[in-house]
Amino acid sequence: MSEGNGNGASATLTKADFQSGQETRWCPGCGDYAILASVQALMPELGVPPEKTVFISGIGCAGRFTYYMDTYGMHGIHGRAPALATGIATSREDLSVWVVSGDGDSLSIGGNHLIHSLRRNVPIKLLLFNNQIYGLTKGQYSPTSETGKITKSTPFGSEDHPFNPLALALGADASFVARTIDVEKKHVAATLRAAAEHEGSAFVEIYQNCNVFNDGAFDAVRGKAGRNNQIHLQHGEPIRFGAELEKGVVRSAGGGLEVVDVTEVGARGLVVHDAHVEDPSHATALARLAERPSGPTPIGVFRDVKRPVYGSGRQADLEAAHSGATLSDLDGLLRSGDTWVV
């Protein structure tokens, strides 16, 4: 893609345009490296120049992401990245605003900021790196750690019931919800491209392996060994998977979804994926199909619907309201109505 350089000429954006000069420092083998490479490779294809792109991060290993992108950005405080991004997105509609966060940052102290940005449909793209552990602070259990998880903070096993990030986002009526896996380069790119093209908030959960404190958490669905368990969601297509597409998804007797052998029900009996249906119950049932990534697990776009975008047109309205305004006009506005002097 090309973008004007201010001199009437156009320049082709490349991956190098989005790579900062900072040394990338995560633990060797961390899944964050793969995600970073995928994002840096995708950005030029979107056609938005670095100076029109903003990456906001919170606290955690994912928080370093901002330093490695040669764009505008900010490493915010714990859990507040969606709030910072909301301010930027609503005041500067010309910018492409992204949030990078971890499962601890987004779902613990940042939980309210996350759900309110999603329900409002703020035009930001939220990437949740889910490794089911606190990596930066050395291995405490997180809001997505499984019940019974033994960690430094839960030596006898966690008693907490974990969040299902996608179900939480859908419960907040997020207009775009998706899931992908760190090492699946093509799938990551396709999923993030769809998120970028979506008008409004886009929530993408990325299974990210922490090979130091929670290695192998996603082995059942990650890499070559786990690909037969990946249920690739394609809008308008029957939901089936497996090496020979021998498995499929059907409605269960209880109204949910379940996995069956295609030979048992026939291809016509399979559920057809509809990412654009207004009712979120279909997407929620898919999110609940695999509560843990230990077996067949859906990946791809679960929901992609249109809703009014928060703050859309507000900047133009403000400019129109204040066009030609003088200091005396502003003073009069501040002193109008019910006011008092202290």
Residue 337's identity, in one-letter code, is G
Q: State the pLDDT confidence band at 2, using cuts at 50, 70 and 90.
A: very low
Asked whether the predicted pLDDT for residue 314 surpasses 70, the reply is no
Residue 60 lies in a domain: yes
With H, G, I as helix, E, B as strand and everything else as coil, classify residue 133.
Answer: coil
Tell me the pLDDT of the chain averaged across its residues. Answer: 92
Residue 80 lies in a domain: yes
- CA 119 – CA 79 distance, rounded (Å): 17
Mean pLDDT of 266-293: 96
- Please list, in sequence order, all residues whose beta carbon lies within 8 angstroms of the beta carbon of residue 151, skipping any fewer than 6 positions away: 133, 139, 140, 141, 145, 158, 213
Q: State the pLDDT confidence band at 170, using cuts at 50, 70 and 90.
A: very high
Instruction: Name 247's bridge partners.
Output: 241, 261
Q: How many independent structural domains does the chain possess?
A: 1
Q: Which two tokens stand for residue 33?
A: 């490296």
Ramachandran angles phi, psi of 62, nearest 5°: -65, -20
Residue 196 lies in a domain: yes
Q: If residue 113 lies in a helix (H) or strand (E), which one and from where to where?
A: helix 111-120
**pTM (2 d.p.):** 0.90
Read off the CATH number of the domain in which 38 is found. 3.40.50.970
| Cβ count near 142 (within 10 Å) | 29
Q: State the pLDDT confidence band at 312, using cuts at 50, 70 and 90.
A: confident
pLDDT in tens, 175-232: 999 999 999 999 999 999 999 999 999 999 999 999 999 999 999 999 999 999 999 9
Asked whether the predicted pLDDT for residue 256 surpasses 50, the reply is yes
Residue 327 lies in a domain: no
Q: Are the CB atoms for 34 and 75 separated by under 8 Å?
A: no
- CA 124 – CA 117 distance, rounded (Å): 8
Mean pLDDT of 77-87: 95
Asked whether the predicted pLDDT for residue 10 surpasses 70, the reply is no
Mean pLDDT of 87-113: 95
Residue 285 lies in a domain: no
Q: For residue 331, with 0-12 CB atoms within 10 Å meaning exposed, 13-18 middle and 19 or more buried, which class applies?
A: exposed
pLDDT of residue 26: 96
Q: Are the CB atoms for 281 and 272 separated by under 8 Å?
A: no
Asked whether the predicted pLDDT for residue 340 surpasses 90, the reply is no
pLDDT of residue 336: 79
Residue 40 lies in a domain: yes
- CA 81 – CA 297 distance, rounded (Å): 28
Residue 325's identity, in one-letter code, is A
pLDDT of residue 297: 97
Residue 79 lies in a domain: yes
Asked whether the predicted pLDDT for residue 255 surpasses 70, the reply is yes
Residue 46 lies in a domain: yes
In residues, how long is the chain?
A: 342
pLDDT of residue 71: 98
Give the structural domain span for 48. Answer: 24-216
For residues 3 and 82, the model is more confident at: 82
Parallel, antiparallel, or unpaired: how do β-strands 10-12 and 2-4 relate? antiparallel
